[in-house]
A and B are shown apart, each in its own frame.
Chain A
Amino acid sequence: MNLTESPFFKRIASLSLRRKVNYIGIFIILIFSGIIFIKVLPLLEQGKLEERRGKLRAVVNSVTSLVDHYERGLRQKSWMTDPKEPKTIEEAKEIIIRNLRYMRYDKTEYFFILDGKGKMIMHPLKPELEGTYMMDMKDPNGNLIFKDMVLESQRDSETFVSYIWQSKYSPIIFEPQTTYAKYYWAWDWVICSGVYTQDILDSTREINYLSAGYVVFTTALTIAILLIFVYFNLTRPITNLLQGIEEIKKDNLDHQVKASFNDELGHITHQFNQMIEHRKRTQNELEELNSSLEEKVITRTSELQLTLQEVQELKVKQDGDYFLTSLLLTPFQTKNPEEKPGNIKSDFFIRQYKQFTFRKWSAELGGDVCITENIEINGREYLFFVNADAMGKSIQGAGGAIIFGASIKASLIRTKLGKTVNLLPEIWLRNLYFDLDQLFTTFDGSMLISAIMGLIDEESGVVYYLNAEHPWLVLYRDGVASFVDQEFSLRKIGTPEKNQNNLHIKMFKLEDGDELLVGSDGRDDIILHDTNDVNNDETLFLRSVEKGKGDIDRIMDSINANGKLKDDISLLSMIYTKGSKKVDETLTEDERKVLVKAIKLSRVNRLSEAYELMKQNFQAKAFNPSVFRVLKRICLLDKNFIEYSRILMSYHSINPENTKNLLKISKSLVLCNLLDMSADYAEALRLREPNNTDSLMHLARLYKKMGYLQVALKRAEEAMRVNPENEETTQLYNSILELYEKEKVNESKPNNNLIHSI
């Protein structure tokens, strides 16, 4: 049972503090008295008795040693040398008895002797008992005292027996007595002597009475002291405190409780007074406040109005700044002119989250950028597109967007001015990316841009693009929206210390009527109407695209229907329509015959004739696969690598998606000793397929040949990383490394393109 739940404990617990203290005092006194009466006083008595017993033992033992002397004498036959010595035990016993009968100590104390069967051998005071068996003799309390003496002394060689016996002063008075009995086994004698112990008991009793008196006195004194102590230290202070509490109940806050002592209760009292003081002060202040409230409100309101005015002025200034900034950003949000006839129709929607009005104009400010622009690279028409999101709200985002837009525009202008720049779209895109990244990295991470940018081959519909941590590119085809590719290969533009894989330019081909959609993360960051939670399902956008059937405004309606926008949002849409340039490349029967003839000519090694024949007849149908194959073959057989490269390059410009062709071109350009160009094609392949070992090995050899050992080493290293088991790569790497170590000092400096490669 739980002790604290027992009725006894509960009764104790409900006692008043004063009583508890008093009871504890009394309890301690009782315990103390108990110890004195039950333990200490008996010990005292015991000690006195022991002392008396010690004396008794000493005198009896002196008799025993005399007896022992005679016994030893008998054993050693002392009588032979000293005739006075007894010759038998009987004689010796006679001598002892004769002497003991008259021997006294302490004036009146005597010895008596029993034998092992309890027969009285000698008793100086009661000779009439001699010869009597005493074993059945009892004291007035019924104890067989002689039996005890006889048996216990035989067992333990000595014993003390206490009993009641006639007083030596009067035969009718009985007093307590203790007898010491020593068994001397050689004679079968129990030699005894007794002593009255009444005096010890008397003195002990006296001490007991005295102690009892002291206990009563101490108890009374303790209780008195406790009562006084409890009154002054507990009762009075607590009563005062209670009274104080009562006064407070009555709202009398002027009452002070008097603290008598500096103890715990004194401390409580002090704290209590302080508390009242505090409350009183608070109440006073409150009252004072109430009385002066209106005046204060007026003062405060006018103060507030002043501030508000200042704030408003500031706001106007700030909005002006915002507005100017928004004006700065606007020229960069450009669309390819709609009037220009092209295969791709683009459209975009931007809504920056920060909306404001300045004077009569309302405007918006944010970090989203959308640009589409027609450019020409290496003689082909492309649509450049970018959708980017500069990190940071309003002015910070806008700053990033402005720099980004300006930078892009600059690049586009550069490209347009140098119209015939002999570049592959992959390389162009790569260069653009690196330029931007270099620029933004200088902001040391304070300005980051997520973006998707790319080029669409107007003719073939091939899309080259890269994604720097921007929401995935969406393809809307035949009423179904899907992500083109679901991985991020690049970190945000401007991310410092990027440790990323090789730049990977992705590629796919659009079909007639396909719509490509890019959008900033504002398209996903909406607070859903249904749940009031932030949306974290990126496929919700796909459904919005499908609902809006690819139309940007309707897509926006659908997004708005799902939830509330909470960020800048921009959407860029591009719809591809297949070009009408398409020529019929199927061969007529005659043309076939010409082809067969050319083949036959080439077989008999009349190669220039065959080539001429082909050139004359197939000017317009050069890209028919059969024609292409035969031409290729003729040039190869003729070892006309320049022509061969040209054919391949022309074919590539029409079928840019054929990646394998790139390596062939690069290799054939090597044969023509057009090494820089060869490197461009191989690099383009590397951008498309960063893990293509053949291209990497080829590049390594190429750069080695060109003397760009550092880049060569890098490519060989990449090849090794991709294909660590290949011995060839290792060998190549080692050979370049060796060369590099040797020629470190006088290495040639690569051209601009290659710097990006490094």
Chain B
Amino acid sequence: MYRKKSINSSIIFLSIILAFLFSSCKTKEDKVNFVPADEYDEAILKWSEIFQPSSLDRQARIDEMRWFKEASKEFRGKKIKTTAENIETHYWESRVLARAFTEITGIQVEHEIIGEGDVVVRIMDQIENGTQWYDGYVNDADMVGTHLRTQGVVVLSDYMKNEGKDVTNPNLDLNDFLNLEFGQDYDKNQLQLPDQQFANLYWFRYDWFTREDIKKQFKEKYGYELGVPINWAAYEDIAEFFTNTPIDGKKVYGHSDYGQPGASLGWRFTDAWLSIAGVGDKGLPNGIPVDEWGIRVENKVPVGSSVSRGGELNGPAAVYALDKYITWMKKYSPPNAFELDWATHGPTASEGNVAQQIFMYITWLSDARFHSADSPVCDKYGKPKWRVAPTPHGKYWEEGMKVGYQDAGSWTIPKNVPEDRKKMAWLWAQFAVSKTVDLKKFSIGGTPIRKSTINSQYLTDRLEDYGGLIEFYRSREETKWTDSGPNVPYYSGLSALWWKNVAKAITGEFTPQQAMDNLAEEQDNLMAKVKLNAFIPKLNEKRDPEYWFAQPGSPRPEKKERETPKTIEYETLIKQWTK
């Protein structure tokens, strides 16, 4: 018996050695059953190879692209022109995806990349004045409040059922979208279809925050643990600490922001900054009845943004938000902050001299500078030393309110586009958001729109490359990050008012209170004037602000005291997310 056992084990041992010796075979790319019949098929075969990684297997990619080829047959050789703002995702769509679409469908697409400000101006011009700028726009869903009131864009949910039925991808799978609601009006009609979205999160240097010597110094000075700040008081302390504490002998900054006057300065505020401070009421997505723009909306009708009309745009919380923005930028940001705008400031944290940034548009994190081995914010393998976490909130913020912004560049087709071009634009839009390409698009631009992308095994294998981003998108918390919502009745005009007043507060021409008073006054005036087709704003009569302060909820009276600073360990936070 014993002898037999030992013989068997020697056989097993030998087999293991042999297996080790001959285990150098590699798995090969999945073979597909597809014989190209024409140049379009050739292109499909080629692009099915290139579009990797993908949440679909190769055969499914081929099948989806063949549907596009077939649906586009009658439009071959025709040309359309679309536009999107200047972020990585859209550049890729413009330079790569458009070429692929043309190769497999024969439809010539020019996908022009312009500034977000121009996108807004041009779509409004096309809707209001009928100028044929483009056949389709990737337009931020912040505009949905405008679109539902101007009624100038194609209601996609109707279009898919009726005239656009033949050109609607059966594999579109709307339920797979992360935040379809961003593009919906009050009645769940789909006006815009997300093409890319990115949140605003808190960004910090995980390596510094976990270094024992730094933690010890911080605790000695502030009496609590250095960690991810939960409120602005903690953020402020940490900002002060790092600005005044050289790390490894080098000067660093505890905060980073931008303040160059311009449209993008307005986004810095309209993209949820006030709601983070605590402006607006509880209730997702934007606060009911007062939203983060300080606009009070009753029965879908905006009734004012000044405190005197029941809004909160010039309330103590809004003034506090502006004041902190200016104070921190002046005290804790790198000195060139006032010369930077949204795009120029975007990836600067990768230079390695910033400890934390309260307002990080995660689209920037797809920049190579956040992922390369020679970057000061990455280790020698190019893995991030930084992490993202939920944005800390101001002292007026309460549980149940939105806590951050999500930009959702969404496909929008003006009603006045000719029918066949409408169809081609819709085909192209669907291609740009198809499951075939979405994971590849995410790997380039870091702006997810599909659950299948976020939940893919490919990303599970690479969680640490994204510094907490994937965990964020997989968590239920993600719903607290929303776009501007349907309350803003005239985005282009109203948002333009903001940056001018903020700029005056930065230069000192206005006090923060004066700036917000002025902004609220201008916003109310513009809302009262603007010509719209539905849910037209109708302002409340002015009353004594004290009346409104006395009412429950927003607007809220001033809170004088500073909140107790609170931090949380990053690992604990991630556990809460992945629960």
Residues on A facing B (Cβ under 8 Å): 2-4, 9, 31, 34-35, 38-39, 42, 68, 75-76, 116, 151, 154-156, 185-188
Contacts and interface: CB of A to CB of B under 8 A. Distances in A.
9 contacts: A3-B8, A4-B7, A42-B24, A151-B46, A151-B49, A154-B50, A155-B49, A188-B95, A188-B99
Contact of B21 (A34, A75, A155, A185): A34
Contacts of A151: 46, 49-50
Contact of A4 (B3, B95, B96): B3
Contacts of B49: 151, 155
Contacts of A34: 17, 21
B344 A76 contact: yes
B3 A155 contact: no
A188 B103 CA distance: 14
B444 interface: yes
Contact of B343 (A2, A39, A76): A76
Given A3-B8, A4-B3, A4-B7, A155 B368 contact: no
Contacts of B20: 35, 39
B7 A186 contact: no
B95 A185 contact: yes
Given A154-B50, A188-B95, 16 more contacts: A2-B4, A3-B4, A3-B8, A4-B4, A4-B7, A9-B7, A31-B17, A34-B17, A38-B21, A75-B86, A75-B91, A76-B344, A185-B92, A185-B96, A186-B92, A188-B99
Interface centre among B46, B92, B343 (most CB of A within 10 A): B46
Interface in B308-350: 343-344
A372 to B, nearest CB: 76
A188 B99 CA distance: 10
Closest 9 CB pairs of A and B: A154-B50, A38-B21, A155-B50, A185-B96, A155-B52, A186-B95, A34-B21, A3-B7, A151-B49
B316 to A, nearest CB: 38
B368 A68 contact: yes
Interface in B70-101: 86, 91-92, 95-96, 99
Interface residues of B, number: 26
Nearest to B52: A155
Nearest to B343: A76
Nearest to A64: B368
A35 B22 CA distance: 10
Q: Is the interface of B mostly helix, strand, loop or mixed?
A: helix
A35 B20 CA distance: 9
Nearest to A37: B21
B346 to A, nearest CB: 11
A151 B51 CA distance: 10
Nearest to B87: A75
Contacts of A76: 343-344
A39 B22 CA distance: 9
Interface in B84-138: 86, 91-92, 95-96, 99, 113
Nearest to B91: A186
B309 to A, nearest CB: 41
A188 B95 CA distance: 7
Interface in B16-35: 17, 20-22, 24
Contacts of B92: 185-186
Nearest to B103: A117
Given A39-B21, A151-B46, A116 B99 contact: yes
Contacts of A31: 17
Given A31-B17, A35-B21, A75-B91, A156 B52 contact: yes
Contacts of B86: 75
A237 B416 CA distance: 107
A87 to B, nearest CB: 15
B369 to A, nearest CB: 10
Nearest to B47: A154
A184 to B, nearest CB: 10
A3 B12 CA distance: 13
A185 B92 CA distance: 7
Most chain A CB atoms below 10 A, which of B7, B8, B95, B113: B95
A198 to B, nearest CB: 23
A3 to B, nearest CB: 6
A147 to B, nearest CB: 10
B40 to A, nearest CB: 15
A34 B24 CA distance: 14
Nearest to A34: B21
Interface in B341-374: 343-344, 368
Contacts of B368: 68
A186 to B, nearest CB: 5
A2 B5 CA distance: 11
Contacts of B344: 76
Contacts of B8: 3
B3 A188 contact: no
Contacts of A186: 91-92, 95
A68 B52 CA distance: 22
A369 B277 CA distance: 123
B483 to A, nearest CB: 24
A60 B229 CA distance: 41
A114 to B, nearest CB: 14
Contacts of A42: 24
A187 B328 CA distance: 40
A76 B368 CA distance: 17
Contacts of B11: 3
A40 to B, nearest CB: 11
A650 B113 CA distance: 148
A75 B7 CA distance: 71
Contacts of B113: 75
A38 B91 contact: no
Contacts of A75: 86, 91, 113
A188 B96 contact: yes
Name, among B52, B96, B343, the residue most crowded by chain A CB atoms within 10 Å (CB to CB): B96
Interface in B385-409: none
B116 to A, nearest CB: 13
A222 to B, nearest CB: 19
Contacts of B22: 38
Nearest to B21: A38
Contacts of A116: 99
Nearest to B94: A186
A118 to B, nearest CB: 10
A155 B46 CA distance: 10
A154 B97 CA distance: 12
A55 to B, nearest CB: 14
Interface in B34-61: 46, 49-52
A2 B3 CA distance: 12
B361 to A, nearest CB: 16
A639 to B, nearest CB: 100
A185 B46 CA distance: 15
A718 to B, nearest CB: 69
A39 B444 CA distance: 37
A76 B22 CA distance: 54
Contacts of A156: 52
A433 B467 CA distance: 106
Contacts of B96: 185, 188
A410 to B, nearest CB: 77
A186 B344 CA distance: 19
Nearest to B97: A185
A456 B91 CA distance: 136
Nearest to B368: A68
Interface in B426-475: 444
Contacts of B50: 151, 154-155
Contacts of B343: 76
A186 B92 CA distance: 7
A68 B50 CA distance: 21
Nearest to A9: B7
Nearest to A151: B49
Contacts of A3: 4, 7-8, 11
A154 B17 CA distance: 39
A116 B43 CA distance: 12
B512 to A, nearest CB: 31
